[in-house]
A and B are shown apart, each in its own frame.
Chain A
Amino acid sequence: MTIDLPVVFAVLMGVAVLAYVVLDGYDLGVGMLLPAASPREQNVMVSSIGPFWDANETWLVLGVGLLLVAFPSAHGIVLGALYLPVVVMLIGLMLRGVAFEFRVKAEGWHRELWNGLFWFGSFLASLAQGLMLGYYITGFAPGFGTFLFALVVAGGLCGGYVLLGATWLIIRTEGDLQRKAVGWTRWGLLWIALGVALVSIGTPLASETVRMKWFDFPRTLGLMLLPAASAAAWLWVWTLTGRMKRGETTSEWKPFAGAVAIYALAFLGLAYSVFPYVVLDRMTIWEAAAHPSALKVMLIGALIVLPFIIGYTVFAYRVFSGKASEKLYD
């Protein structure tokens, strides 16, 4: 039996991108929520993501790296078309990354400045990622309509990151801040519901390929499981946070799990819409793939190393489980 290497790498790349979106998503979300909290709470929020953000961003390098090395011809097209949003995202990530380190060492108005840059960088990166996603799923169609559509997607993604960030804070904080996080979660939920609805209506309208894949009876009936499951996850988080608001005790990790489920399902829907294209309507994964010998040697490496990566990532999350404290370097 031969393995279809391009499909394997498409799946690997998808997993890396999903891992990135969920992991860096929660820390970008926490960054965007920063202005809504008091200075003391801001310290707790930042220290809740402190041990993780470096590793979270590594998933972006892996995702883009896999695009570069497994689908080299697509890397040029995709990132060439997304050139400016990519630059905006990179500058956002840079500001945020260094602001994270600098704000700990700064005092007075310096700290305020780095806090501001931390928020701004998080927002800029999230917005740019949303724009990239929006352009990507339209196959980089030209025109102002595409830009508007991409802007809607960007708004939805920012909302989604806020949702992830807020549910992360429910796990990692307590007291007043946790109560605030419950409120933020519900705002995030409303926001993401609007975003996903607009994208679900907009994408089939914008792309014939996507429309054909989804509206093809009787397959459509089976496919409707996906939005149904998303709606169920959404309702679950809404109910859970409702209970938390009323002061009933419930597992603190459940809203985060629900938010991740919403992301995973939306991602699955997108992947289904685009597959087997790597550039919609233009280039399939087989056309874009690197030489089999290169793919093989990378697959061997990935299969050996990925279990270790997952293992020590789990270890790190266990070490830093529990509530975050105000002091980062304890």
Chain B
Amino acid sequence: MDASEALFLARTQFGLNIAFHILFPSITIALAWFLVFFRVQYALTRRPEWLATYRLWTKIFALSFAMGVVSGITMSFQFGTNWPGFMNKVGNIAGPLLAYEVLTAFFLEATFLGVMLFGMNRVPNWVHITSAVLVAAGTSLSAFWILALNSWMQTPVGHIVADGQLIAGDWLEVIFNPSFPYRMIHMMLASGLTATFLVAGLSAWRLLKAPGDAGAARTLRAGILVGAVLAPLQAWVGDRHGLNTLEHQPAKIAAIEAIWKTEKGVPLVLFAIPNEQARRNDYSIEIPKGASLILKHDPDAELKGLDAFAPDTAPVAPVFFSFRVMVGIGMAMIALAWFGLWATRGGRAPPRWLLWTFAGFTFSGWVAVEAGWLVTEIGRQPWLVTGVLRTADAAGGASGAQLGASLTGYILTYTLMLIAYMVVLTHMAGTGSAREDPRAALVAEAR
């Protein structure tokens, strides 16, 4: 068993876990705020369809949250077992950030989730709404801490070196490191879009089965509206994030754009097959001077290519393709949301093919989030903490046999969970909010 094989298994296992885990926070972070909206709408209007909507989506939220919790617990164990070198080198910075996440966010969201899910008839209205707000605040706060850590690993500042270990010099600098604001907003919007298209997609699915469902019509409309605002906003924020990356991690941009050589007037590669051996692009379709124009706002500007950073560069193909998948889905989201807005103007009923399209886009946010995650995490290789710690130097601990056996167990469990999750979600949305709780209307009447 050589070290590179153990490194490969450690990365595969951790990558699989984190890729599985991120699916659920990317829904719950934003869905929690949707729930607040549904709940407040019900409190203001007292209309039964808002209550039914709220109840349906709290159940979907609870399911997603549980999936996030159980896969997240796994992470807290694997930090130490798969990456002992990480904790040894930067534990004094990563540790407190993780500890603050647990202390300020995890308990808050988990405890008030109970009140939000099961306490509607046990606490006064305002306490119940406050619980929903606290759950949403908790999930967002959790994103804050974990993205602060991730961003610091990408663009580390504010630390000092003592006895071969890093300790924080200035915590505010560590937390609000150069890439943090961009990554935070980019991720929050990504979650917003994932939840929006989930809400719109499942509502469209329901409308295909039961065209008269008033609750589903409302949530589809809400999803289209939010999507029409967030999707273009995300394109703009993503562009700013890219410029920030160019400033602080130029090697990642060179991999994203498949720029092999440092040149002036660099073309924008729309499509190509990056050839790692020959260090060039095959079959490329390019816009002359496009990359220089987009990244430097000057068609003749010089851009650093991968040759400027060799040998510390990321594998180009996965970063290059993932980026295009992410951007492609983003563009499709803009087009679909805007067309949906136009098609439903003045309360028009959307055509069936449009409902099918939205239903098809139910989990599109997931694909974009995973693609974006691959871009940012593979794009920083070979570094785990840029300029400070290499991924290869952080691995170790568990043996190849242990990793292999546990990897099999994880894959089986995750596959089972993911299939069950998607089937249950589609089933719940299909049977819908109307049938959901016959007492809902009565409760609304009684108040």
Interface residues of A, Cβ cutoff 8 Å to B: 47, 50-52, 54-55, 57-58, 60-62, 64-70, 72-73, 75-76, 79-80, 83-84, 86-88, 90-91, 93-95, 97-98, 100-102, 104-106, 290-291, 293-294, 297-298, 301-302, 305-306, 309, 312-313, 316, 319-320, 328-330
Contacts and interface: CB of A to CB of B under 8 A. Distances in A.
Interface of chain B: mostly helix, strand, loop or mixed: helix
Contact of A86 (B81, B92, B114): B81
A72 B88 contact: yes
A47 B106 CA distance: 22
Nearest to A80: B397
B106 A305 contact: no
Give the most central of B66, B84, B119, B123: most A CB within 10 Å: B66
Given A62-B102, A69-B96, A330-B120, 6 more contacts: A80-B81, A97-B69, A101-B63, A294-B93, A294-B168, A313-B111
Contacts of B278: none
Contact size range, B: 35 or more
B406 A98 contact: no
Nearest to A311: B111
Contacts of B398: 80, 83
Contact of B100 (A61, A88, A101, A301): A301
A127 to B, nearest CB: 15
Interface stretch (B72-80, B294-302, B335-343): B72-80
Given A61-B106, A101-B66, A301-B104, A69 B113 contact: no
B22 interface: no
A101 B106 CA distance: 19
Interface string B400-411: 001001100110
A58 B96 contact: no
Interface string B107-129: 11011111101111111000000
Contact of B80 (A72, A294, A330): A72
Nearest to B427: A105
Nearest to B162: A291
Given A51-B118, A58-B106, A316-B115, A293 B99 contact: no
B96 A94 contact: no
Contact of A298 (B70, B77, B99, B427): B99
Give the most central of A291, A309, A320: most B CB within 10 Å: A291
B394 to A, nearest CB: 11
A301 B120 CA distance: 32
Given A76-B80, A319-B115, A330 B121 contact: yes
Interface in B245-259: none
Nearest 6 A/B pairs, CB to CB = A69-B95, A51-B114, A75-B80, A294-B92, A76-B84, A55-B110
A102 B103 contact: no
Contact of A73 (B88, B107, B171): B88
Nearest to A62: B102
B95 A68 contact: yes
A94 B123 contact: no
A305 B112 CA distance: 15
B210 interface: no
A236 to B, nearest CB: 30
A105 B59 contact: yes
A98 B418 CA distance: 10
A55 B108 CA distance: 8
Contacts of B119: 51, 319-320
Contacts of B93: 294
Contacts of B98: 65, 68-69
B168 A329 contact: no
